[in-house]
Amino acid sequence: MPAAIALCVILAALAVFQLALALGAPIGHFAWGGQHRVLPPRLRIGSAVSIVIYAIIAALALDRVGIIDVVSDTVSTVGMWIVFGYFVLGIPMNAISRSRAERFTMTPVVIVLALLSLLIALG
């Protein structure tokens, strides 16, 4: 359960970050390759979609550890393994970013998310 709570706290912080990006905050060097100070419309939409994805991941994690019950055990188990794979793929993607800010901020964050999602997937 602590891993799921920690995952949700980090995802909530990332959701606030993505909301700020979607609303035009000049912090784009931390996301989406870091090429834009203020994101263009298509990347702002991507940030908004990210918030929805974070909410789905949080629901899967909370369901997997039994805090909520919104999907079957099979769905939450398989879903968390998919989430783990998603975060593992995010590690090299963030690590190779042209943006130094993104590399040194988001890579450690996604490593932690991958480890937490692994713990949750393992049950």
The single-letter code of the amino acid at 96 is I
The count of other CB atoms within 10 Å of the CB of residue 12 is 14
| Torsion angle of C-alpha atoms 40, 91, 115, 60, degrees rounded to 10 | 40
Token pair listed for 77: 């188990």
CA end-to-end distance (rounded Å), the chain: 9
What is the band of 43 on the pLDDT scale with cuts at 50, 70, 90? very high
Arithmetic mean of pLDDT, 67-73: 96
Can you give the residue ranges of every domain in the chain?
A: 2-122
Residue-level pLDDT at 88? 98
